[in-house]
């Protein structure tokens, strides 16, 4: 079975949600970055929220949003 980009994004979201203590959420752009990152690779911010609940919520949100955007692109 072929793995789609959409599946891998969803898998990444699930991976983050299953191990939220290894990640943190950027306060500047809401990206999820690895816990060891000093600055955000997207916005170069240095303020992060390490609350696992926030990380899980954001992972699910990003996974769902990416899925929706891919679907709507497919329909155009």
Q: Which residues bind Zn ion (CB under 5 A)?
A: 26, 28-29, 31, 40, 42-43, 45
Q: How far is the CB of 75 from Zn ion (least distance, A)?
A: 30
* Torsion sign (Cα): 3, 25, 35, 57: negative
Shortest Cβ distance from residue 62 to Zn ion (Å)? 13
Nearer to Zn ion, 6 or 49 (CB): 49
Angle, helix 52-75 to helix 5-18, in steps of 10 degrees: 170
Give least dist CB 38 to Zn ion, A: 12
Nearer to Zn ion by C-beta: 26 or 56?
26
d(CA 37, CA 67): 26
Residues 6+ apart with CB under 8 A from 61: none
Cβ proximity to Zn ion: between 22 and 43 the closer is 43
């Amino acid at each position: 079975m072929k793995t789609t980009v959409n599946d891998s994004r969803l898998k990444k979201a699930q991976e983050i949600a299953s191990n939220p203590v290894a990640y943190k959420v950027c306060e500047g752009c809401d990206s999820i970055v690895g816990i060891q990152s000093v600055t955000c690779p997207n916005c170069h911010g240095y303020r992060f929220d390490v609350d696992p609940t926030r990380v899980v919520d954001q992972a699910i949100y990003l996974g769902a949003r990416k899925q929706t955007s891919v679907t709507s692109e497919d329909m155009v």
